[in-house]
A and B are shown apart, each in its own frame.
Chain A
Amino acid sequence: EHLQTQHLSIPSGKRVQHTFPQLFFYKPNLWWPNGMGKQALYHVTITVDVKGHGESDSWSHMYGFRKIESYIDSATGGRLFKVNGQPIFIRGGNWILSDGLLRLSKKRYKTDIKFHADMNFNMIRCWGGGLAERPEFYHYCDIYGLLVWQEFWITGDVDGRGVPVSNPNGPLDHDLFMLCARDTVKLLRNHPSLALWVGGNEQVPPPDINNALKDELKLHPHFESLHNTGKTVQELS
């Protein structure tokens, strides 16, 4: 039941967006953070066959079924997280990057991230002055159950709260910032370990960037339709 084929025709030179009918799973193995259960992963493969040509392209990804919610607790002002409806006590570590000269390797990521899991951590926070981490980083967080808090490229020190105070309005090119943010979201959004996008470190991005990020990272309107069926927002990932 987890195999589906759709027929479509695409005009020459055109780029189209296509949504499959939703695939139903009964009691699938859920993905859990380190210490709460297994990190069950499913292999999703998408292929496109062109009539008269054969297979034209394929794409695959390891995917985990999980629902992550987080909200600010009014009593403490702290951010509370839930995974698959279960509250989780976050034991997190700060992460700047794997190597100062960007000598990044799968082997190093695997070692560093397994080390965090062995230290009984369940979250890694990627600091805004470092990188938007790479798919290989997220792959091992998926495998070892480390939730990821990923900051965009704004820090208090450099953007308006440092000594000397500088760049109060962030980078010069806000459109470029948003172009990079959109492309980064598309690169990383299918990883089950990705738990939270954060505007920056110790600083709120400039209002136009912050509003655009909040607006574009909202739940896709496609899922709003599910609301009309009386489903509460609780039931959407």
Chain B
Amino acid sequence: MAEIGKTVLDSGWLAARSTEVHLSGTQLTTTHSPSGLDKPWMEAAVPGTVLGTLVKNKAVPDPFYGLENEAIIDIADSGREYYTFWFFTTFQCKLSANQHLDLNFRGINYSAEVYLNGNKKILPKGMFRRHSLDVTDILHPDGQNLLAVLVHPPDHPGTIPPEGGQGGDHEIGKDVATQYVEGWDWMAPIRDRNTGIWDEVSISITGPVKIIDPHLVSTFFDGYKRVYLHTTTELENKSSSVVECDLNIQVTSELEGGVCIV
């Protein structure tokens, strides 16, 4: 039985500009997966942004040195396609009976299409939202899974006025995304507006029941002598039958020197 828990996917990623890849996501994750660093594919920084990956591969100068940022084409001039990128990786996973697998993205800027073993799923717009896809039914029988993610920039990347200014032409404010990326008095514009898989990617294996977003709240009485911990959690039964389960909560405190009391 595969061990339950989370595995972060933060290595072995490749990236390529979408306009230089003439394959579909289905082909990339079935018959024509990239085999390595053959052009236009390059080593990708995930989590990270398109520009982070381009800087890592020295495909552009480091924007934080001198006036190098001026040498990087801005998305307003290049168009959104220029910074629309494919990200590709593989992962090994073989489930046992009654186990489920979620593919989790903790932050995508700004929207994306996910292809896993030839199956397409959509990650809707919004930079500050998590995405969790139940991919149990589309895993590869032999355990070797191919994952491709096509990431699109914000809808309104805006144009930087010649005089710069706080937030450029403010177009980025039409989206739900970080606003400094059009430049501020302390910061030059970020050329790709931070497009990318900017936060953690993980896969999590569970049994039939999944714990979702517990909420911990404490209440205090009698001058903090009498304290209560209130815990609420969501639970999802992913199986096709009623399940009987035991839900356990345990609180331990670490005393000095690593001694624990339960």
CA distance A157 to B262 in the complex (A): 51
- Interface contact A44-B178, CB-CB below 8 Å: no
B74 → chain A closest CB, angstroms: 15
Residues A186 and B165 in contact in the complex (CB < 8 Å), given A100-B190, A180-B176: no
CA distance A194 to B233 in the complex (A): 20
Chain A 29-66 interface mask (CB, 8 Å, partner B; 1/0): 11000000000111111111111011111110101011
Residues A157 and B167 in contact in the complex (CB < 8 Å), given A56-B4, A59-B211: yes
Q: Does A8 contact B (CB under 8 A)?
A: yes
A210 → chain B closest CB, angstroms: 15
Q: Which residues of B lie under 8 Å from residue A155 when comparing CB positions? A: 166-167, 173, 179
CA distance A63 to B190 in the complex (A): 36
Q: Which residues of B lie under 8 Å from residue A22 when comparing CB positions? A: 219, 228-230
Q: Which residues of A lie under 8 Å from residue B199 when comparing CB positions? A: 104, 134
- Interface contact A153-B52, CB-CB below 8 Å: no
Q: Does B247 contact A (CB under 8 A)?
A: yes
- Interface contact A13-B180, CB-CB below 8 Å: no
Residues A100 and B128 in contact in the complex (CB < 8 Å), given A9-B244, A15-B234, A49-B246: no
Point out the residue from B47, B129, B213, B251 that lies within 8 Å of A23, measured CB to CB.
Answer: B251
Number of A-B contacts (CB under 8 A): 330
Q: Which of B130, B212, B248 has the most CB of A within 10 A?
A: B248
A11 → chain B closest CB, angstroms: 5
Q: Does B239 contact A (CB under 8 A)?
A: yes
- Interface contact A4-B248, CB-CB below 8 Å: yes
Q: Which residues of A lie under 8 Å from residue B217 when comparing CB positions? A: 220, 223, 237
Q: Does A115 contact B (CB under 8 A)?
A: no
- Interface contact A103-B52, CB-CB below 8 Å: yes
Q: Does A20 contact B (CB under 8 A)?
A: yes
Q: Which residues of A lie under 8 Å from residue B210 when comparing CB positions? A: 56-57
A90 → chain B closest CB, angstroms: 21
CA distance A96 to B55 in the complex (A): 21
- Interface contact B129-A9, CB-CB below 8 Å: no
A206 → chain B closest CB, angstroms: 11
Point out the residue from A15, A163, A223 that lies within 8 Å of B230, measured CB to CB.
Answer: A223
Q: Does B240 contact A (CB under 8 A)?
A: yes
A27 → chain B closest CB, angstroms: 5
Interface-lining segment among A72-80, A116-124, A168-176:
A168-176
- Interface contact B244-A15, CB-CB below 8 Å: no
- Interface contact B243-A176, CB-CB below 8 Å: no
Q: Does B39 contact A (CB under 8 A)?
A: no
Q: List 17 A-B contacts (CB under 8 A).
A: A5-B247, A6-B247, A7-B244, A15-B236, A15-B237, A16-B236, A27-B224, A27-B225, A67-B218, A67-B224, A85-B223, A96-B187, A101-B48, A103-B45, A163-B165, A164-B170, A235-B220
What are the 7 tightest A-B residue pairs by CB atom distance, in nearest-first order? A56-B207, A158-B173, A166-B170, A157-B166, A10-B237, A2-B251, A22-B228
Residues of B near any A CB (own CB < 8 A): 4-5, 45, 47-49, 51-52, 55, 63-64, 98, 106, 125-130, 165-167, 169-180, 184, 186-187, 190, 194, 196, 198-199, 206-221, 223-254, 260, 262
